[in-house]
Amino acid sequence: MQTRDKLYIDGSWIPSTGKGTIDVIGAATETVIGSIPAGSVEDVNKAVAAAKSALVEWSDRSVDDRAKFVQALAEGLGARSAEIAATISAEVGMPVFWSGMIQAGLPQAVMGSYVEIAKTYKFEQEIGATLVVKEPIGVVGCITPWNYPLHQIVAKVAPALIAGCTIVLKPSEVAPLNAFILAEIMDDAGIPAGVFNLVSGDGPTVGEAIASHPDVNMVSFTGSTRAGKRVSELAAQTVKRVALELGGKSPFVILPGLSDEQLDTAVGAGLGSCYMNAGQTCIAWTRMLVPRDQHDTIVAKVKAAAETFALGDPSDPGHMGLGPLISEVQRGRVRAYINKGIEEGATLVTGGADAPAEFPTGYYVKPTVFSNVSNSMTIAREEIFGPVLSIIPYDSVDDAVAIANDTVYGLHAGVFGADNESATKVARRLQAGQVDINGQKFNPVAPFGGYKQSGNSRELGEFGLDEFLEVKALNL
């Protein structure tokens, strides 16, 4: 039981002025595993004031000095990686085997990557008689989700610190405990008072107070498209910069002409993406587009492969399959989508909405596959955020591209072809911020972000640092 009864504001752990607490529920146990303060608007005001006060001194430091501090944070994350992995596994439900590599390992890698980026990033350049300088945008409000909680925090905090910004963070109240560990690492590293502030609480109270605060110069938000629209509405009143990383309904296009061995590899890659973190992944390839004349063959391969994805206890270090979903609300939502798919005429290949008998406790959903899906069906249009794959047949490559792009989202996609050249040609036609070709893995220093209603900014690498900087032209 992790009881967190204080907020981190202006370099100190202080009680919240809010009147309540928020319980954190374990995804596998359905029991309370921790609690956090339900922060107030007053808490946000204190945190923003501290961040504003600290801004001049922090931004005046050299980039090298700021990078040394970020390096200390990377080392602190590494020292507590096992604790972080176990904490997030309990909060979110990702098996601890994967949590160690992804939920703990990726934030450490991203934090360290900005130390290297800072060494070569051009904060100044000459264009004719003009000196172009990049300066910190100011106080940044970071509002983050629960599915990859620490990674999404670090993807904002690391570049903001390198840029010279100060920060007010509101982590997801569903999976917040990891953020308190980061705040402890910040404090242990000797962060100057006010540079980093943590205010826990719910979105309507703390999140909206951050987004609407006149002294917050930028809001960086990751979450649902619905919530992102609300953040934009509030932020527009003070014309602050808004960086949004939102939802997805990512296509995975399997091209014609693959050998049987290549088909097996493609199916494995597609299911691995769809079922990672029990489908609670914004970039999950939840729409598998397949040649119509190979539909039945591929469906048989997908069924056999999907049924090897076992459910299990996320705290078991030997379990490498699926854990539970994060909450009862999320489980109910996913089950409703599965039932909707059946009602609308899709063919249920495996899985389903009924509770797995072997797991009476925990928010588990069976890995599910639908075939003969039309792109007009609800399960092909809306983000489910659970282990549900829709297999959609197409008649030509042009048809596949049209189906892939027929969505309000554009975060991520995948293409698998007989060779990289043919797959890349299709990838260039897809309306998505990032496309994996022939099973290429995630690159933590490549720009990440979406087209259309998947967002309006980029995170990670140099592009992620750009988001936190203002550009000034000095005409000499």
Active-site residue set = 245, 282
Query: Which segments of 10-86 are extended strands (E)?
Result: 12-14, 20-25, 32-38
> For strand 166-170 and strand 196-198, is the pairing parallel, antiparallel, or unpaired?
parallel
From CA 400, how far away is CA 381, in angstroms rounded? Answer: 15
Instruction: Specify whether the CB–CB gap between 35 and 67 falls below 8 A.
Output: no
What angle, 0 to 180 degrees and rounded to 10, lies between the N-to-C axes of helices 63-79 and 149-163? 160
Buried b vs exposed e over 128-155: b needs ≥16 C-beta within 10 Å? eeeeeebbbbbbbbbbbbbbbbbbbbbb
Q: How far apart are CA 439 and CA 252, in angstroms?
A: 10
d(CA 100, CA 316): 12
Region of 382 on the Ramachandran plot (φ > 0 left; ψ -120 to 50 alpha; else beta)? beta
Within 8 A by CB and 6+ apart from 388, the residues are 274, 279, 286, 334, 337, 338, 341, 351, 368, 369, 370, 379
For the CA atoms of 126, 127, 131, 133, the dihedral, rounded to the nearest 10 degrees, stands at -80
- C-beta separation of 373 from 390 below 8 A: yes
* Closest to 410 (Cα-Cα) out of 287, 283, 290: 283
Between CA 453 and CA 429 the distance in angstroms is 18
Q: Give the sheet arrangement for strand 130-136, strand by strand.
A: 124-127, 130-136, 469-475
Element of type H or E holding 436: strand 434-437
Three-state secondary structure of 223-280: CCHHHHHHHHHHHHCCCCEEEEECCCCEEEEECCCCCHHHHHHHHHHHHHHHHHHHHC
